[in-house]
């Protein structure tokens, strides 16, 4: 099988993250080093002509070109309405759609890697193996880690990054990455904790901390780290522009499909770096507020994403020895069951009992009607 590794990037800040921090974590065991899959990979870089001028001369990119085939696709022609808040994500989604169509000519599937992602050892191997076993996609949550900490040299001072003649190289084991994430989180991570007393903007996640060990995660949005192309399905490559994690996933994948979910960070750990000042932010309120949790989901999740909340993910840096894991795990599953039950209330009842939630449901239905999501 052959896989395209897709990365969409433009702008000096994201280019720097990609070259100085993200790609270096791929030069580690089970990614682009000591992996039987390297010869199966093509790296599909989607960027602007201006940004490629600086990318092409960077030592780590030249090393990438010596390691595997690199396909450069320019996205200058992809323009979106920059007056709206989500224009950045629209442009990424449109580019990913173009990238899939292009890669499908020679590859069997695609990995979606972002310029601000940090990868633990073995990440690419895990995804490739699961797809080779017949799974249509591999899904995982991607917790946020402080961009200030990463750019401030955290991985270097902790002994994970070294500078070589070929550029920076970073090797970090899954549990090491989890521990650093919990020590240096983005502030919004607190807003995902069910009992924190604050509420997260973009509240797709629900988190139950286990003191000193890690946390239990449930989520409406799970990142499709890798997918197989369904080349016989013309709908698979249909245009999308809202987001890969919602619009594309909701349209293409169904509950009964053979999908692989990463349930334990020992198997796969990835983080997204995000600046403290960047959204999402937190606001007063409670993540444990059942009606508020359901209100967001009415407008921002379809049937497939609601099915995702049944999947429990253990994000930990120690052995799972405490009984808290079993206790909190049961508590988390029951809470998510109650959220889903509320989302299944019929329109006729919801319209009377919770008009705001009913309007949110109607808004999603209307918006996606022409997209069959």
Q: Would you say 112 and 96 are in contact if contact means Cβ atoms under 8 Å apart?
A: yes
Strand partners, 219: 205
Does pTM top 0.85 for this prediction? yes
Residue-level pLDDT at 373: 45
Distances (CA, A) of 244 to 89, 261, 270, 300, 361: 9, 17, 17, 13, 21
Residue-level pLDDT at 370: 57
**Tokens 């020679």 correspond to what residue?**
106
Tell me how far apart the alpha carbons of residues 135 and 128 are, in angstroms, rounded to a whole number. 10
Instruction: Dig out the tokens for 340 from the structure.
Output: 């889903």
Give 22's DSSP letter. Answer: I
Tell me how far apart the alpha carbons of residues 287 and 176 are, in angstroms, rounded to a whole number. 28
Q: Would you say 31 and 122 are in contact if contact means Cβ atoms under 8 Å apart?
A: yes
Q: Is 275 exposed, middle or buried (0-12, 13-18, 19+ CB in 10 A)?
A: middle
Q: Three-class SS string for 225-269? A: EEEECCCCCHHHHCCCCCCHHHHHHHHHCCCCCCEEECCECCCCC
Range list of H helices, the chain: 12-17, 23-26, 49-55, 59-67, 87-103, 123-132, 147-151, 154-157, 174-183, 188-192, 249-252, 290-300, 303-308, 324-343, 347-353, 355-368
**Tokens 């084991």 correspond to what residue?**
173
pLDDT tens-digit profile, the chain (373 residues): 999 999 999 999 999 999 999 999 999 999 999 999 999 999 999 999 999 999 999 999 999 999 999 999 999 999 998 888 788 899 999 999 999 999 999 999 999 999 999 999 999 999 999 999 999 999 999 999 999 999 999 999 999 999 888 778 999 999 999 999 999 999 999 999 999 999 998 899 999 999 999 999 999 999 999 999 999 998 999 999 889 999 999 999 999 899 999 999 999 999 999 999 999 999 988 888 888 889 999 999 999 999 999 999 999 999 998 889 999 999 999 999 999 999 999 999 999 999 999 999 998 888 666 555 4
Q: Of the candidates 108, 112, 43, 97, which has an alpha carbon nearest to the alpha carbon of residue 72?
A: 43
Angle at 220 between CA 214 and CA 224, to 5 degrees: 85
The domain spans of the chain are 3-371
């Amino acid at each position: 099988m052959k896989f395209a590794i897709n990365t969409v990037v433009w702008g000096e800040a994201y280019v720097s993250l990609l070259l100085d921090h993200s790609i270096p974590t791929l030069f580690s065991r089970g990614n682009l080093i000591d992996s039987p899959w390297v010869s199966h990979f093509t790296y599909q870089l989607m960027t602007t002509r201006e940004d490629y001028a600086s990318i092409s001369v960077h030592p780590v990119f030249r090393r990438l070109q010596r390691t595997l085939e690199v396909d450069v696709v320019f996205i200058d022609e992809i323009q979106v309405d920059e007056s709206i808040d989500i224009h950045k994500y629209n442009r990424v989604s449109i580019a990913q759609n173009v990238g899939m169509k292009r890669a499908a000519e020679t590859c069997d599937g695609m990995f979606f890697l972002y310029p601000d992602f940090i990868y633990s050892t073995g990440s690419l191997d895990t995804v490739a193996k699961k797809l080779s076993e017949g799974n249509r996609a591999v899904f995982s949550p991607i917790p946020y880690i402080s961009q200030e900490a990463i750019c401030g040299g955290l991985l270097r001072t902790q002994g994970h990054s070294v500078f070589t003649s070929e550029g920076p190289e970073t090797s970090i084991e899954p549990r090491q990455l989890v521990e650093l994430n919990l020590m240096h989180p983005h502030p919004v991570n607190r807003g995902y904790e069910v009992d924190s007393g604050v509420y997260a903007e973009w509240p797709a996640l629900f988190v139950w901390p286990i003191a000193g060990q890690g946390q239990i995660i449930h989520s409406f949005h799970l990142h499709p780290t890798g997918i197989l192309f369904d080349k016989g399905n013309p709908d698979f490559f249909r245009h999308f522009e809202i987001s890969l994690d919602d619009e594309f996933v909701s349209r293409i994948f169904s509950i009964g499909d053979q999908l692989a979910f990463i349930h334990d960070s020992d198997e796969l750990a990835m983080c997204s770096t995000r600046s403290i000042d960047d959204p999402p932010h937190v606001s007063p309120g409670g993540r444990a507020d059942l009606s508020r949790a359901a209100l967001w989901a009415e407008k921002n999740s379809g049937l497939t994403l609601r099915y995702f909340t049944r999947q429990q993910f253990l994000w930990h840096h120690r052995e799972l020895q405490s009984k808290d894991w079993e206790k909190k795990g049961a508590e988390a599953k029951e809470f998510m069951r109650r959220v889903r039950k509320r989302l299944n209330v019929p329109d006729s009842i919801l319209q009377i009992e919770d008009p705001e939630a009913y309007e949110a449901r109607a808004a999603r239905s209307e918006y996606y009607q022409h997209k069959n999501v």
